[in-house]
Structure 1
Amino acid sequence: MKDNLTYEEVPVEILDCQVRRLRNKEVASVKILWRSQFVDGANWEAKAAMIGKYPHFIFSSIST
């Protein structure tokens, strides 16, 4: 917890992955379970953005 009483969410687990087709390109998304949230609070995030923000997190286990 930081001095201003906020905290950074940290990914815990990848629950699912999908590739969505948008006009001319495909976008890989991962469903992320965040620390201090329940499974129903998990949300879809762009895989490329997650790799950029959390390079230490293991995304190699997903095929998309």
Structure 2
Amino acid sequence: KAPSLGKDWHRPCLKCEKCNKTLSSGGHAEHDGKPYCNQPCYAALFGPKGFGRGGTESHSFK
């Protein structure tokens, strides 16, 4: 079992919520109690805007 996010996970069950990749204990990001891989999923979902989106800056137009 891999202790992570305050509970013990069976290794195959600790997966990124977005891409489903199996994660290593302590080697991942977390948001709302759900595990995510650091790159690219967490960065794309919750990182600064324009970060992790193919390397190009995103501009918002009003």
Please give the range of the TM-score, normalised by the shorter of the 2 chains: under 0.3
Q: TM-score, normalised by structure 1?
A: 0.21
TM-score by length of 2: 0.21
- Higher RCO (C-alpha 8 Å, min separation 6): 1
